[in-house]
Amino acid sequence: MLYNMIPGDPARAELEPMKTQLTPEEWHIRYVQLREQMGLDDPLIQRYGRWIGNLLQGNFGYSQVYKQPVLKVVKQPLKNTIFINVFSIALALGITIPLGIHCAVKRNSLFDKVVQVLTIIGYSIPTFIIVLLFIFLFSVTLGWFPVSGMATPNFQGNSIQEFLDKLWHLALPLAVMTIGSLGGMTRYIRAAMSDVLSADYIKTARAKGLKEKVVIYSHAWRNALLPVITLIIGWFMSVFSGSLVVEQMFQLNGMGKFYIEALNGQDFEVALAIQMFYIVVSLVGYLITDLSYGLVDPRVRVNK
């Protein structure tokens, strides 16, 4: 319903380039035929039911812009988006978890205060501002990385060289997505660990003479992980939606950029397929969250 409220007419947009080559009568006949072919004259509920029926059969529809099945059109952008987001998530978690734990252990130290100031600044700056700053600094001023794109035009080389060229183009977007997610995650992990480290059972564990690493990682971190899991999974889902901005600004051939182009071009079949992808990511994320609770905390496991 929302997609069909977008101003415009897909049939008219497709026939517009032929307007000067046809007489008004011929253009009108083709226009009526095309609307009937695309099913635009059918009631909205009927069109939705037809789309659901095709979806249950594994048919995501046909792209009116690319003149190909939707699955074939979104295949490469989907691979690129998954690669970019999984890479950035791995980098972000590899930095935020140790950093948050260290800040909680060294609470109120100079290192902790510096990190808190930097995370507040990073959390407060919108992603598109970080993108502009990074492009100006590393692409325009220093010339270390390309401004946009995913590969060098007409690049010739073996598979390893192509992969390295791709990483060179993706270095700046990955850095933006990683840095943009450091602030909130680091502060949340620090807060969760600080609460646990002040608990009585942590004091008891230290009084019993356990090593500090055992106290932190076996006792404190596992108990602090339960609220952190919810944030990590929610953040995982938000990174996929947040990549729309990064992909659009860096002109990356990903789902975000493709989604915006599909909406602008009123290619509703493609837009619905991409929206389904985000819905599946959300549902899988919530399922993983519920299953992870049982792995972290034995008290919430379902026993026979």
Query: Is pLDDT at 304 greater than 70 in this prediction?
Result: no
pLDDT of res. 152: 78
What gap in Å lies between CA 165 and CA 28, rounded to an integer?
Answer: 49
What gap in Å lies between CA 90 and CA 145, rounded to an integer?
Answer: 22
Query: Is pLDDT at 242 greater than 60 in this prediction?
Result: no
What gap in Å lies between CA 260 and CA 222, rounded to an integer?
Answer: 41
The pLDDT of 107-128, averaged and rounded, is 83
Question: Are the C-beta atoms of 73 and 255 separated by less than 8 Å?
Answer: no
The pLDDT of 263-289, averaged and rounded, is 82
What gap in Å lies between CA 85 and CA 91, rounded to an integer?
Answer: 10
pTM of the model: 0.70
What mean pLDDT value characterizes the chain? 80
pLDDT of res. 142: 87
Question: Are the C-beta atoms of 237 and 282 separated by less than 8 Å?
Answer: yes
What gap in Å lies between CA 250 and CA 166, rounded to an integer?
Answer: 13
The pLDDT of 26-46, averaged and rounded, is 80
Query: Is pLDDT at 170 greater than 80 in this prediction?
Result: yes
Confidence band for 144, pLDDT divided at 50, 70 and 90: confident
pLDDT of res. 58: 80
H or E element: which one contains 68? strand 68-69
Share of the chain above pLDDT 90, in %: 0
The pLDDT of 149-156, averaged and rounded, is 76
pLDDT of res. 302: 60
Query: Is pLDDT at 238 greater than 70 in this prediction?
Result: no
Q: Which residues pair with 69 in a beta bridge?
A: 62
Write the DSSP string, 24-67: HHHHHHHHHHHHHHHTTTS-HHHHHHHHHHHHHTT---EETTTT
Confidence band for 299, pLDDT divided at 50, 70 and 90: low
Q: Find all residues with CB under 8 Å of 217, minimum gap 6, and list them.
A: none
The pLDDT of 115-144, averaged and rounded, is 84
Q: Find all residues with CB under 8 Å of 121, minimum gap 6, and list them.
A: 183
Q: For residue 223, how many other CB atoms are within 10 A of its CB?
A: 19
Query: Is pLDDT at 274 greater than 70 in this prediction?
Result: yes
What gap in Å lies between CA 219 and CA 56, rounded to an integer?
Answer: 47
pLDDT of res. 239: 63
The pLDDT of 89-104, averaged and rounded, is 84
Q: Which domains does the chain have, with CATH numbers?
A: 3-68 (no CATH), 72-126+182-300 (1.10.3720.10)
Q: Choose among 279, 266, 273: nearest CA to 5.
A: 266
Question: Are the C-beta atoms of 89 and 239 separated by less than 8 Å?
Answer: yes
What gap in Å lies between CA 50 and CA 201, rounded to an integer?
Answer: 59
Listed ranges 135-149, 156-170, 256-270; the one with the highest mean pLDDT: 135-149
The pLDDT of 85-114, averaged and rounded, is 84
The pLDDT of 162-174, averaged and rounded, is 83
Q: For residue 176, how many other CB atoms are within 10 A of its CB?
A: 24
pLDDT of res. 280: 84
Q: For residue 214, how many other CB atoms are within 10 A of its CB?
A: 12
Confidence band for 122, pLDDT divided at 50, 70 and 90: confident
pLDDT of res. 237: 67
Q: Which residues pair with 63 in a beta bridge?
A: 68
Label residue 184 exposed, middle or buried (CB < 10 Å: 0-12, 13-18, 19+).
Answer: middle
